[in-house]
Amino acid sequence: MVMDWVLENKRLQHEKSQRFVEVFGVPLRRFMDPILGFDIVRFDDQVIRPPDGTSTRDVIVERYGEEAVRLVEELIGIKEE
């Protein structure tokens, strides 16, 4: 089970690294843990830094666009319908 998570997280990191850098200007590896996956809290604290009362999603849409939101959603495991 843990090995499945590790493999999936490694796959995601490999497949999304270049696009992540293109969109956010920072390496994806800084926010990926092999077992836990994408560290959205760390990403939020270090990159997005939303003002009080503003959601991370809203800031991402405003600064980077809807495609960036979809990229982050995929990294945290939200599947597109």
How is the chain split into domains, by residue range?
A: 2-76
Cβ(9)–Cβ(35) below 8 Å: yes
pLDDT of residue 49: 96
pLDDT of residue 69: 97
Residue spans of alpha helices (H) in 1-81: 2-24, 40-43, 56-64, 66-76
Half-sphere exposure of 1 toward its Cβ, with a 13 Å CA cutoff?
A: 0
Cβ(39)–Cβ(29) below 8 Å: no
pLDDT of residue 5: 87
List, for the chain, all residue ranges whose pLDDT scores fall below the cut of 70: 80-81
